[in-house]
Amino acid sequence: MNEINYKAIDERNPPPIDDLSSYPGEDWGDRQSNSWTDADGGFQSAFSNRDAGPRPDATPLPADDEQRQGFKLKATPFLWRDPRSIPPRPWLYGHHLARRYVSATIAPGGMGKSTKTMTDAVALASGRKLLHDKPRGPLRVWIWNGEDDQEELERRMIAIFMHFDIAPDDVGDRLFLDNGRDTVIRVAEVSKGSIEIATPVVDALEAEIKARNIDVLIIDPFVSVHSTPENDNGAMDRVVKTFAAIANRTNCAIELVHHSRKLNGAEADIDSARGGSAIAGAVRAARVLNPMTMEVAKELGIPSNERKSYVRVDGAKANLAPLGAAKWFKLVSVFLGNGTDDDPEDSVAVSEPWTPPDVMDDVTGEDLLKAQRAVDGRDLKSSSQATEWAGYAIGDAIGIDARSEPGKTKIKRCLKTWISTEMLVEREIFDDRNRRPVKVIVVGNWACAQ
């Protein structure tokens, strides 16, 4: 396998020494002894334009002895400051998008990544809470989608407007939508065995962000804006940090939508990002999307053929904030009303917020008392595999069919809750018939009659 050499088209803005700590997961001591030195161990050309922010897309070229002699570093002393004088972190959308940082959404194909991020974009541009977070808006948002054509993107966007009753005036001129077929963005590629950053493209992207005063840029999918090997951590680190540099210099937040690798039935997490681990390591915040599992669908009584319409959003990485609890959205169909005599109207998937019901919501204190009376003094078995399982008697007492789903799973949840609160207790007794100890359910603390 040929070794890839890393070089840059533009050496004007390498990352300043005082900003290297802004990138997590890096051993910058090793980085300085390799990436920032030449083959003889000497320093490469001096860092320039330090105020412009980190520029990992431009690696200094080797310097001669005279240049090395003139290169100096200066450590910055830490000075205490009143913490109240430090500006709060510049969050724009929950704890996922922040100015000057790159975030990522990672999921398998067909999981509603584009639908989710387009709904986020409408929420940001309108300033309305459409899913889970209220934006710090209204904000100016630019979506670039490298997979669909403009008409398909317009179908999706208009369906979101229709579903959430968004009027054009609610968004005004703050929303921008482009596709990769008409507007090509390619910030990095392999040329003659080397990874090269396309500086003219980077400069043009930055210029348009500044000209339009873009607050949030969404790149969907990430793989469409580079042609470098995804399994090369060095290449991926460099491309992601190119976007980090763009975010820093333009004061915007950037979202990279990325595919997970093939999971073979497993759930996606931060390590599931397709390609090198540097992708996950270089972003500041990441979230993963997973379909509802068979177990959860069974518990909630959702048909197995509908469970993939329910998508869980997990905070996979949050360097600037604690990981949040999982959130859910549901994919629903919106009809555009554009049918003709020859063609039916289009149906478009839209994401809407969804909260899993608590199976205990409709279980009352009176139900608990009935359950206690049903098991009292009977030594009914704790195991749901037993013929004399306590759950059957409890289900009969409170009107839930414990012999089929979803009733059986609901009774299990009731038992687990009541045992945890000591209203029911598992006790081990000796089974004379089978000549072995077994666990049974007995009454713990009696519930008060309603």
112-165 pLDDT per residue, tens: 999 999 999 999 999 999 999 999 989 999 999 999 999 999 999 999 999 999
Q: Is 287 exposed, middle or buried (0-12, 13-18, 19+ CB in 10 A)?
A: buried
CATH superfamily, with its number, for domain 91-353: P-loop containing nucleotide triphosphate hydrolases (3.40.50.300)
Q: In angstroms, rounded to a whole number, what is the distance separating the alpha carbons of residues 124 and 170?
A: 11
What pLDDT score does 356 carry?
A: 87
> Which strand (E) or helix (H) includes residue 98?
strand 97-98
What pLDDT score does 57 carry?
A: 52
For helices 365-375 and 390-398, what crossing angle results, to 10°?
A: 140
pLDDT at 450 over 70: no
Measured CA distances, 145 to 26, 107, 184, 331, 417 (Å): 30, 16, 10, 20, 46
Q: Is 355 exposed, middle or buried (0-12, 13-18, 19+ CB in 10 A)?
A: exposed
Reported confidence tier of residue 14, pLDDT bands at 50, 70, 90: very low
Sketch the domain layout of the chain as residue ranges: 91-353, 365-443
Distant-in-sequence, close-in-space partners of 131: CB < 8 Å, separation ≥ 6:
116, 119, 120, 123, 327, 329, 351, 352, 353
Q: Running DSSP on this structure, what letter comes out for residue 41?
A: S
pTM for the model stands at 0.75
3-state secondary structure 330-367: EEEEEECCCCCCCCCCCEEEEEEEECCCCCCCCCCHHH
Reported confidence tier of residue 65, pLDDT bands at 50, 70, 90: low
Q: In angstroms, rounded to a whole number, what is the distance separating the alpha carbons of residues 212 and 142?
A: 9
Q: Residue 209: how many CA atoms within 13 Å on its side-chain side?
A: 26
What pLDDT score does 271 carry?
A: 77
Q: CA angle 98-185-273, nearest 5°?
A: 55
> Residue 219's Cα: distance from chain center in Å?
14
Q: Average pLDDT, stretch 354-360?
A: 85
Comparing CA positions, the residue from 187, 180, 181, 219 lying closest to residue 202 is 187
What pLDDT score does 108 carry?
A: 84
Mean pLDDT, the chain, whole residue set: 83
> Nearest 10 degrees: CA dihedral of 234, 239, 242, 246?
-160
